[in-house]
Structure 1
Amino acid sequence: MNEFNQILPVSALGEDARVAFYKKTYTYLAFAVLLFVLVEYLFLQVDFIVNIGLQMIQGWTWLLVLGGFMFVTNHVERMALGSKDKTVHHTALFLYVIAEAFIFVPLIYIAIEISGARETDILSQAAVMTLALFAGLTAIVFVTKKDFSFLKSIITIGSFLAIGLIVAGTLFGGFTLGLWFSVGMVVLASGSILYQTSNMMHKYEEEQYVAASLGLFASLMLLFWYVVSIFMSE
């Protein structure tokens, strides 16, 4: 009987067990965000890292970075979901947060520069907007208790389409993605949050709360990236 209970999805657990799982998941998510902020701050203090980050967004280099990053994202999420080893889960989350912080260096640096020129705090505004959207999308899943796994194929197709547009923008210098691309990516990231939150309830097991927080963190960071991009384009 104990073995059977171990393979139950969170949605099939008792109320106390479900609540405990959700608390652990969102606690780890909060720690991941705090670690991201700390590491990002430290990275921005190192000129060498900032220069590398700014060079990454030039031409084909950025395509390679995005392609590699998407591969790592998928691999880390599969590794976390497929393993029941908590050490693997913690390591995957930690390494992914560090990788995200590094990828964000050029965006955050440029956003700070634009904020200084406009005398507005782009990052704070984007953070508030991102958290509000994340909270609203999370509430939709918890209130409806709907399984949003059907979004997986849509998210996959949307991701490949986005990569195609980025490639086109790189190949043809006059072709810029612009504001509407960022809006579309916000919609895609929102779908990803619905999907990951639904997975947390219907796919993950009781001891996979770290893995669940990793999936949520990845979607949250994708949303934050493009919300920042929208505020920068105004």
Structure 2
Amino acid sequence: MNNDYQTIDRAYPSTEVKNKVLKNTYTFLAITLAFSALAAFVAMQVNAPRVPFLLHIVVFFALLFGIEKTKNSGAGVALTFLFTGYMGFNLGPILNMYLSIPNGSELITSAFSMTAIAFLSLSAFAVTTKKDFSFLSSFIMVGTVVILVGVLAAWIFELPSLALALSVGIVLLSCALILWQTGEIVNGGETNYISATVTLYVSIYNLFLSLLQILGVMSSDD
């Protein structure tokens, strides 16, 4: 990964440019995922509490906004590490909660495996076929708004059934985001690897958490 935060602005990026963005994105994604995992491990070891929901939402969007504004500079890299570290640290208490139940470790392993398989499969499909997934943009935009409203409603009214439905919706939305973002890179629609990394990171993070929740509900029904 180099320090070309933003590639040359071209109407039709060359294959070399697109491959460079793809390489930088996946390299940076691997590094930030490892950093996030380390932060989660630290949180688990110190038994850190979860960040309150409203505070988490504020920090989440504030960091995303900061990254978007600084994505063409080294500050964007620093904020991305801060963001992924924060997300990982907030994941630690959730993992501890699942580990406290009898089959928690199996649920975490299953959710992790399913997430890895889904991400690798979707990414490989987008890279090898080079299909244009821009048609998913409307679904992603509407889906994001619906899920945000649903998450707030589930939190305010404490509706477990809605929370489960949201998890299913987030799985579908995350898969769509992975296809769309990878397709944008492959076809030259995305030339900034910081933006691409953050989108893929959030998709993977949400996919893992949603699968974990779905598996937890299915397991408890047994």
Q: TM-score, normalised by structure 2?
A: 0.81
Partner of 1:121: helix, strand, or coil? helix
Mapping 1:82-93, distance limit 5 Å? 83-85=71-73, 87-93=74-80
Asked if 2 retains the 8 angstrom alpha-carbon contact of 1:36 and 1:100, the reply is: yes
1:25 counterpart letter in structure 2? T
Could you tell me which residue of structure 2 aligns to residue 223 of structure 1? 207
Rounded to whole Å, the distance in 1 between the matches of 2:139 and 2:60 is 16
Could you tell me which residue of structure 1 aligns to residue 107 of structure 2? 122
* Aligned CA distance change for structure 1 residues 212 and 173 (closer, same or farther; 3 Å): closer
Rounded to whole Å, the distance in 1 between the matches of 2:184 and 2:83 is 19
Partner of 2:134: helix, strand, or coil? coil
Could you tell me which residue of structure 2 aligns to residue 75 of structure 1? 65
Q: Does 1:139 align with 2:134?
A: no
Partner of 1:90: helix, strand, or coil? helix
Task: Tell which deviates more after alignment, 27-36 or 142-151.
Answer: 142-151
Could you tell me which residue of structure 1 aligns to residue 4 of structure 2? none
Higher relative contact order (CA 8 A, sep 6+): 1
2:15 counterpart letter in structure 1? G
* Aligned CA distance change for structure 1 residues 71 and 44 (closer, same or farther; 3 Å): same
2:27 counterpart letter in structure 1? T
Asked if 2 retains the 8 angstrom alpha-carbon contact of 1:89 and 1:211, the reply is: no
Partner of 1:84: helix, strand, or coil? coil
Q: Does 1:169 align with 2:154?
A: yes
1:34 counterpart letter in structure 2? A
CA displacement, residues 68-124 of structure 1 (integer Å, 9 cap, x when unaligned): 2552364145335xx422x0231121111112113323321212222xx12752222
C-alpha deviation, 1:37, in angstroms:
0.8
Could you tell me which residue of structure 1 aligns to residue 194 of structure 2? 210
2:83 counterpart letter in structure 1? Y
Asked if 2 retains the 8 angstrom alpha-carbon contact of 1:193 and 1:216, the reply is: yes
Rounded to whole Å, the distance in 2 between the matches of 1:147 and 1:70 is 29
Rounded to whole Å, the distance in 2 between the matches of 1:155 and 1:77 is 20
Q: Does 1:31 align with 2:12?
A: no
Could you tell me which residue of structure 2 aligns to residue 151 of structure 1? 136
Could you tell me which residue of structure 1 aligns to residue 15 of structure 2? 14
CA displacement, residues 99-158 of structure 1 (integer Å, 9 cap, x when unaligned): 2113323321212222xx127522221111101101111122223323323323322221
Residue of structure 2 aligned with 1:187, choices 172, 183, 192? 172
Unaligned stretches of 5+ in structure 1?
none
Mapping 1:39-50, distance limit 5 Å? 39-47=39-47, 50=48
**Number of equivalent positions:** 211
Could you tell me which residue of structure 1 aligns to residue 87 of structure 2? 100
Unaligned stretches of 5+ in structure 2?
1-6
Task: State percent identity of aligned pairs.
Answer: 26
Rounded to whole Å, the distance in 2 between the matches of 1:35 and 1:173 is 33
Partner of 1:147: helix, strand, or coil? coil
* Aligned CA distance change for structure 1 residues 37 and 27 (closer, same or farther; 3 Å): same
Partner of 2:108: helix, strand, or coil? helix
